[in-house]
Amino acid sequence: MIIDYTHIGRQVTGIERISLELFSPRTFGKGKAQYVRANGILRMIAGQWITLPLAVIRNRRSLCICPGFPPSIFLSIVGRTRVIPYVHDMFLLSRPADLNIRAKLYMRPSFAFAVHHLRRFLVNSISTRDALRKKCRSDAEIHLLRPEVRNVFELTSSGKTKATVGRQTLRLLSIGTVEPRKNYAAANLIRKALAAHLACAVELHIVGRKGWGREAESLQGDNDVQLHGYCSIEQIQALIDSTDIFIATSKEEGLGLPLLEVQHGGIFVAAADIPVFREVLGKSGCLFNPDSADAAAYRIASELSLPNWRERHCVAALQNVERWNLQAKNDMQQFLYWIEKKEFRSLNI
C-alpha cells in the first residue's frame, strides 16, 4: 500500500482528521503501508506529481490511496487501475464559483481527470457516492468507507440537560473554513431572526480559518458574531461546552464531520436540509431551509419551546453517534476484506 500523506502536517481540518483516522498504520498493520509525506507546498506538489508516480511505477503490485488531495494527472495515468482516491465531496466539479484560485487551477483539473478515468473510488457518505456515480465511468467501483467519529474534542454530555445558569444569551456555534460554501451569511440572518423570535440576545461563534471570498469581512461588522479563527482542541472544547446549539448552513457538503463530532457532547444540532445532513443526523437534530431565515428561526425556536429540549436532544445526539460509528466499523471491515481479495490485485479489470 502506498498512502499519499503529502497534505498531512498542515492545520488539522476535517480532511486531515479523516485521513489520519482511516489510513494510519494501525489500519493496515505495521510495515504494510508506505507513507509519502511532504513539508511545504512545493514539496507537496513534487510528492504528488513525481514521488508518488515513481513509487507506483517501481512497484507494479502496489495500490495507491489518495485520501486528501486528488491524485495528480500523471499519477492517474501511470496507476490507472491501482490509484484509489478517497472522495470527500464533489465541490471541485459542482461548485466552481465557490473555489479559490488554487483549487481551480491545481486541484480541479486533477480531480476531473481522476473522476473520468479511474476505476476505483472510496467515498465518505452515501450522498457523495450518489453524486460521484453521476460523473464517473459506468464500470467504476465505488466503495463506501464512512469514518468512525471519535471524541476528538474530549467532550462530555454531563450538564447539557440544564440551561446555563446566570446567562441570558443563546449561543450558536459553527465550525468550518470561512468561505462562501459554508453560507455563514445565512447563519447570521437566522441568528438575527432567532433573537427576534425569542426576544433575547443570540450570539454566533465561528471556528475556522479565513478562506477565500469576503465572508469574513461581512461578518466582522456584527457585534454578535465572533470569528475565532483556527483554534486548538482545548479552545474548541471550551466553546462547545458553552454552546446551546450547533448550526450548519452549508450549501453543499460531502459529509459534515463537525456535526457528528459535537454530538459526542450531547449538543443540539440544527442544520440545513440537504441530503448529506439528513444522512448524518438520522433521527437527531433538526433540519431547516437556510434560504428563509424566518422559517429557519421558527423551526429552531419551536424545538426550544418543547419541554426538556436539552435532554431530548442530548440523548438523540449520543444515540446518533453510536449509530454512525457502527456503520463506519462495518465499512472498515468490508474495505479491509476488499483490498485483500485476490481479484482486486489483478491489473486486468
C-beta separation of 65 from 84 below 8 A: yes
Q: What's the pLDDT at 212? A: 81
- All three cell numbers of 334, joined, read 468490508
Mean pLDDT, residues 273-278 taken together: 96
Q: Are residues 80 and 225 in the same domain?
A: no
By the 10 Å C-beta count (0-12 exposed, 13-18 middle, 19+ buried), 292 is classed as: middle
329 within a domain of the structure (yes/no): no
Q: Are residues 202 and 246 in the same domain?
A: yes
Residue 67 has pLDDT above 80, yes or no: yes
Tens digit of each residue's pLDDT (9 = 90 or more) over 165-200 = 445 899 999 999 998 899 999 999 999 999 999 999
Give the CA count within 13 Å in the CB-facing half-sphere of 195: 16
User: Which position has the grid cell 450538564?
Assistant: 159
- All three cell numbers of 194, joined, read 432567532
Tens digit of each residue's pLDDT (9 = 90 or more) over 279-323 = 999 999 999 999 999 999 999 999 999 999 999 999 999 999 999
Give the CA count within 13 Å in the CB-facing half-sphere of 336: 12
Q: Are residues 269 and 212 in the same domain?
A: yes
Q: Are residues 134 and 250 in the same domain?
A: no
- Domain holding 204: CATH number? 3.40.50.2000
Percent of the chain with pLDDT over 90: 75
C-beta separation of 314 from 266 below 8 A: yes
Mean model confidence pLDDT for the chain: 91
C-beta separation of 243 from 268 below 8 A: no
- The lowest-confidence range among 156-160, 172-176, 319-323, 333-337 is 156-160
- The lowest-confidence range among 87-101, 156-170, 191-205 is 156-170
User: Which position has the grid cell 433540519?
Assistant: 287
- All three cell numbers of 35, joined, read 507513507
Residue 162 has pLDDT above 60, yes or no: no
Mean pLDDT, residues 208-230 taken together: 88
Q: What's the pLDDT at 343? A: 45
Mean pLDDT, residues 69-93 taken together: 96
161 within a domain of the structure (yes/no): no
Q: Are residues 192 and 73 in the same domain?
A: no
Q: What's the pLDDT at 347? A: 43
Q: Are residues 208 and 65 in the same domain?
A: no
Q: Are residues 133 and 175 in the same domain?
A: no
Q: Are residues 38 and 139 in the same domain?
A: yes
Nearest to 113 by CA among 139, 144, 79, 147: 79
- The lowest-confidence range among 16-25, 310-319, 330-339, 340-349 is 340-349
Q: Are residues 112 and 189 in the same domain?
A: no
73 within a domain of the structure (yes/no): yes
Mean pLDDT, residues 320-345 taken together: 86
Distance CA 5, CA 68 (A): 8
User: Which position has the grid cell 429540549?
Assistant: 309
Could you tell me the pLDDT band of residue 117, with boundaries at 50, 70 and 90? very high
- The lowest-confidence range among 251-255, 279-283, 313-317, 327-331 is 251-255
Q: Are residues 92 and 177 in the same domain?
A: no
Could you tell me the pLDDT band of residue 348, with boundaries at 50, 70 and 90? very low
97 within a domain of the structure (yes/no): yes
257 within a domain of the structure (yes/no): yes
Q: What's the pLDDT at 161? A: 59
Q: What's the pLDDT at 33? A: 92
66 within a domain of the structure (yes/no): yes
Distance CA 218, CA 194 (A): 19
162 within a domain of the structure (yes/no): no
Q: What's the pLDDT at 46? A: 97
Instruction: Please report the DSSP string for 248-310 in residue order.
Output: E--S--S--HHHHHHHTTT-EEEEE--HHHHHHHTTSSEEE-TT-HHHHHHHHHHHHTSTTHH
Number of folded domains that form the chain: 2
Residue 65 has pLDDT above 70, yes or no: yes
Nearest to 284 by CA among 255, 317, 307, 257: 317
Q: What are phi and psi of 104, to 5 degrees?
A: -65, -45
Distance CA 264, CA 304 (A): 20
Percent of the chain with pLDDT over 70: 94
Distance CA 189, CA 195 (A): 10
150 within a domain of the structure (yes/no): no
Q: Are residues 46 and 100 in the same domain?
A: yes
Residue of 68 and 13 predicted with greater confidence: 68
Could you tell me the pLDDT band of residue 142, with boundaries at 50, 70 and 90? very high
- All three cell numbers of 337, joined, read 476484506
Residue 259 has pLDDT above 70, yes or no: yes
Q: Which domain holds residue 199?
A: 170-323
Q: Are residues 122 and 249 in the same domain?
A: no
- The lowest-confidence range among 84-88, 94-98, 183-187 is 94-98
Could you tell me the pLDDT band of residue 160, with boundaries at 50, 70 and 90? low
- The lowest-confidence range among 46-55, 146-155, 209-218 is 209-218
Q: What's the pLDDT at 216? A: 86
